[in-house]
């Protein structure tokens, strides 16, 4: 009796909910969906840190990947469960449990006008570089990250290259003896 | 909660206060006991620091020094910003991005058939793994089954690639630590494996051999003899490595107890591959989350016990032996059949039919110009590359090009362990640490 009470008080969800049961529609207080058989949870941006803490406490001991998608030019349907409003940015974090040998993915919706989300650094220190990469290339800021700086692009770079409104651009190949072709078509003129 | 105390991205790009002694306030980082190993300093701040007059203060006796990006032992273009107290490293910061070419952005411009040519250039020491993980992700989205023979060819090629990648590690690790002749030996054996790759794929590196739907071509005549020759050549050579390095007192002195990582730190820092296994955590995706047909072959997951540079060396040496074991089983089990899925959606028609059939010609043309369309959805697929978990996150909007293609590079994530391994060690040991993490900068920077 005592144990069950503790479980009910401690975690918002009982441990039964996290078993890969196809019928479960919520886990850790978030909606669950399945993408090609892979389980995905959809936490709310405001509770992202709490959900991650619950994940860590529940045995998801490694956050292997953090990335983001800019859905601003997406033509298809977003495949989100009911109650999750699509936003421009989506943060994707993948977790592994070494004990159950299972994977779990979280997709967090982040609005375009306020691209900020809690950092997981204090729960999963391995997200340090991954969050810096997302910040650098996608322009999503992480609240509570110890060193939110650019990691792949130079520190004084403008813009976030993986956003869909960032042009691909091209640097013209300069062949020999075509000096005329190289005037006015430098990388600055292209952007 | 996030909205109120947040900073906009532009404000925080060069924060002068990013240089703080500890990573976080005490107590918050229970998972990372060794705080303060990571140097958090922007280029601007570092330049100021270097330009400023040294204070006569006892507490300010450290020196900032750059190692790389063109240092011979940094495996390409890794740069380390080291804070030194005499010859001892206090804190360090890996500075990366010198090889960044926006390959994830490029991936959005290429069709799914062109995709492998892009990703294969990321981890250039293990290109077939990049192609494999991309192809598996595309196949998962499209929902095609590939023939059994294609699966086993993929296994054969990737295990050989694991051998060649670890041989390259043996060579460079040896040279970094002063066993210069090892460079020649490791390179010599790797060359034999690359010759086989050239025979099968046409290229020594960046093969574009594993493609969505199967592989580019069947194994050539005589492939079995070639592989057998390799498998006979390698074990005695590995014995030679043991003689040359493993048992050598100088070699052991140089590596044992250097760059120690605890299992807790490795797990917290999301380390995978030999870096994680060296700490004693037996985690190998081939065994724990089998892909291809790795559940049908017998092999051991090699783990270390001390988490030091020697364990990481020994694990890679023994993983070559395990891969040889796997390859020998593949030789026995290689099934006959087709080397690619005969799915008209993703597979171009056979070359001979193009001369006879107008429809085949159009089909061929459409696949190679427009590309095949992939149903909407998103998927994350991971394989065990020689460096750890190589993942591919793919989003499709129903078109012929990926909407978003993200590669989770094991080198990139494993790089985070470096400051923790290097703290309170000598500069000479930093070389051993870099070498034992075995980062491939093409994959780090992408």
Residue B423's pLDDT is what? 86
Spell out the domain ranges in chain B. Answer: 103-415
Query: Per-residue pLDDT tens for B378-398?
Result: 999 999 999 999 999 999 988
Q: Which two tokens stand for residue B410?
A: 């094991």
How large is the angle between the packed helices B148-176 and B223-241, nearest 10 degrees? 30
Q: Do B377 and A79 count as a contact with CB atoms less than 8 A apart?
A: yes
Q: Does residue A80 sit at the B interface (CB-CB below 8 Å)? A: no
On the question of pLDDT at B8 being above 70, the answer is no
Please tell me the distance from the alpha carbon of residue A189 to that of residue A184, in angstroms, as a whole number. Answer: 7
pLDDT band of B129, cuts 50, 70, 90: very high
Query: For residue B395, what is the nearest residue in chain A, using CA coordinates?
Result: A69
Q: Give chain A's domain count.
A: 1
Please tell me the distance from the alpha carbon of residue B325 to that of residue B273, in angstroms, as a whole number. Answer: 19
Which residues in chain B have Cβ-Cβ distances shorter than 8 Å to A38? 379-380
CA A91 to chain B, closest CA, distance in angstroms equals 12
Q: Do B403 and A137 count as a contact with CB atoms less than 8 A apart?
A: no
What percent of chain A shows pLDDT beyond 70?
77
Please tell me the distance from the alpha carbon of residue A173 to that of residue B391, in angstroms, as a whole number. Answer: 33
What percent of chain B shows pLDDT beyond 90?
39
List the CATH code of the domain at B103-415. 1.10.645.10
Contact (Cβ atoms closer than 8 angstroms) between residue A91 and residue A108: yes
- CATH number for the domain including A54? 3.30.460.80
- What is this structure's pTM? 0.85
Collapsing DSSP to helix, strand or coil, B263 comes out as helix
Collapsing DSSP to helix, strand or coil, B335 comes out as coil
Query: For residue B381, what is the nearest residue in chain A, using CA coordinates?
Result: A38
Q: Do A126 and B413 count as a contact with CB atoms less than 8 A apart?
A: yes
Pick from A64, A141, A168: CB nearest B389: A64
On the question of pLDDT at A80 being above 70, the answer is yes
Average pLDDT, chain A: 79
On the question of pLDDT at B132 being above 90, the answer is yes
Sign of the Cα torsion B267, B76, A134, A143 reads positive
Query: Per-residue pLDDT tens for B21-36?
Result: 334 433 345 666 556 7
Nearest to B276 by CA among B410, B164, B149: B410
Which residues, including other chains, have CB under 8 Å from residue B237's CB and lie 6 or more apart?
B185, B189
Contact (Cβ atoms closer than 8 angstroms) between residue B108 and residue B396: no
Query: Per-residue pLDDT tens for A103-159?
Result: 999 999 999 998 999 998 888 888 989 999 999 999 999 988 888 888 998 888 888
Boundaries of domain holding A9: 2-190
Q: Does residue A99 sit at the B interface (CB-CB below 8 Å)? A: no
Pick from B1, B272, B416: CB nearest A46: B1
Please tell me the distance from the alpha carbon of residue A71 to that of residue A165, in angstroms, as a whole number. Answer: 11
On the question of pLDDT at A18 being above 60, the answer is no
pLDDT band of B2, cuts 50, 70, 90: very low
Q: Do A77 and B376 count as a contact with CB atoms less than 8 A apart?
A: yes
Contact (Cβ atoms closer than 8 angstroms) between residue B292 and residue B133: no
Please tell me the distance from the alpha carbon of residue A108 to that of residue A30, in angstroms, as a whole number. Answer: 10
Which residues in chain B have Cβ-Cβ distances shorter than 8 Å to A35? 377-379
Best A47, A67, A73 residue to mutate vs chain B (most B CBs within 10 Å):
A67
Helix residue spans in A75-191 (DSSP H): 127-138, 187-190
Please tell me the distance from the alpha carbon of residue B382 to that of residue B384, in angstroms, as a whole number. Answer: 7
pLDDT band of B340, cuts 50, 70, 90: confident
Best A99, A122, A139 residue to mutate vs chain B (most B CBs within 10 Å):
A122
Distances from the Cα of A35 to the Cα of A166, B136, B254, B273, B348, angstroms? 28, 15, 48, 26, 28
Opening angle at CA B253, ends B247 and B259, nearest 5: 115
Opening angle at CA A9, ends A8 and A13, nearest 5: 50
């Amino acid at each position: 009796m005592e144990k069950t009470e503790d479980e009910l008080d401690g975690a918002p969800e009982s441990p039964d909910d996290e078993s890969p049961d196809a019928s479960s529609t919520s886990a850790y207080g978030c909606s669950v969906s399945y993408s090609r058989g892979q389980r995905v949870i959809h936490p709310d941006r405001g509770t992202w840190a709490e959900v991650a803490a619950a994940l860590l406490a529940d045995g998801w001991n490694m956050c292997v990947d953090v990335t983001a998608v800019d859905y601003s030019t997406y033509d298809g349907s977003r495949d989100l469960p009911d109650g999750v409003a699509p936003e421009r940015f989506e943060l994707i974090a993948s977790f592994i449990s070494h004990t159950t040998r299972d994977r779990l993915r979280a997709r967090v919706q982040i609005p375009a006008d306020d691209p900020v989300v809690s950092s997981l650094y204090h729960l999963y220190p391995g997200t340090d570089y991954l969050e810096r990469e997302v910040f650098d290339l996608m322009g999503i800021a992480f609240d509570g990250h110890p060193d939110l700086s650019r990691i792949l692009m130079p520190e004084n770079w403008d813009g976030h290259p993986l956003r869909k409104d960032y042009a691909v651009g091209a640097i013209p190949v300069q062949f020999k003896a075509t000096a005329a072709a190289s005037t006015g078509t430098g990388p600055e003129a292209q952007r | 909660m996030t909205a109120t105390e947040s900073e906009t991205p532009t404000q925080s790009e060069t924060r002068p206060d990013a240089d703080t002694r500890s990573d976080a306030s005490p107590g918050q980082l229970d998972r990372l006991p060794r705080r303060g190993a990571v140097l958090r300093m922007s280029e601007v701040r570092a330049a100021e620091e270097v330009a400023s007059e040294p204070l006569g203060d006892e507490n300010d006796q450290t020196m900032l020094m750059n190692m790389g990006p063109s240092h011979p032992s940094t495996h390409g273009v890794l740069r380390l910003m080291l804070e030194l107290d005499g010859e001892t490293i206090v804190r360090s910061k890996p500075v990366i991005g010198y090889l960044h070419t926006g390959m994830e952005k490029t991936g959005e411009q290429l069709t799914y058939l062109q995709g492998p040519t892009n990703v294969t250039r990321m981890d250039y020491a293990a290109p077939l793994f990049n192609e494999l993980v991309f192809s598996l992700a595309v196949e998962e989205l499209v929902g095609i089954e590939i023939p059994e023979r294609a699966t086993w060819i993929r296994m054969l090629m990737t295990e050989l690639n694991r051998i060649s990648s670890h041989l390259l590690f043996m060579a460079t690790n040896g040279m970094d630590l002063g066993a210069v002749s090892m460079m020649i030996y490791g390179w010599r054996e790797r060359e034999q494996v690359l010759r086989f790759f050239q025979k099968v794929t046409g290229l020594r590196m960046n093969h574009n051999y594993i493609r969505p739907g199967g592989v580019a071509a069947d194994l050539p005549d005589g492939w079995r003899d070639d592989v057998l020759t390799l498998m006979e050549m390698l074990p005695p050579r590995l014995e030679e490595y043991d003689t040359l390095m493993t048992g050598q007192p100088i070699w052991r002195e140089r590596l044992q107890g250097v760059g120690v990582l605890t299992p807790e730190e490795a797990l917290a820092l999301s380390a995978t591959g030999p870096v994680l296994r060296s700490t004693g955590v037996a985690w190998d995706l081939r065994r724990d989350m089998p892909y291809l047909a790795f559940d049908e072959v017998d092999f051991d997951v090699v783990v270390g016990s001390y988490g030091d540079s020697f364990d990481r060396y020994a694990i890679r040496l023994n993983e070559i032996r395990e891969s040889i074991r796997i390859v020998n089983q593949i030789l026995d089990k290689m099934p006959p059949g087709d080397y690619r899925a005969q799915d008209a959606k993703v597979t171009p028609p056979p070359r001979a039919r193009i001369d006879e059939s107008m429809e085949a010609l159009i089909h061929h043309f459409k696949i190679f110009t427009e590309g095949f369309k992939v149903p909407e959805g998103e998927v994350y697929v991971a394989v065990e590359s020689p460096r750890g978990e190589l993942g591919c996150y793919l989003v499709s909007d129903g078109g012929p090009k990926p909407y978003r293609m993200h590669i989770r590079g094991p080198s990139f994530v494993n790089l985070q362990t470096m400051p923790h391994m290097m703290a309170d060690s000598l500069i000479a040991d930093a070389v051993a640490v870099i070498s034992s993490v075995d980062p491939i900068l093409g994959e780090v920077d992408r």
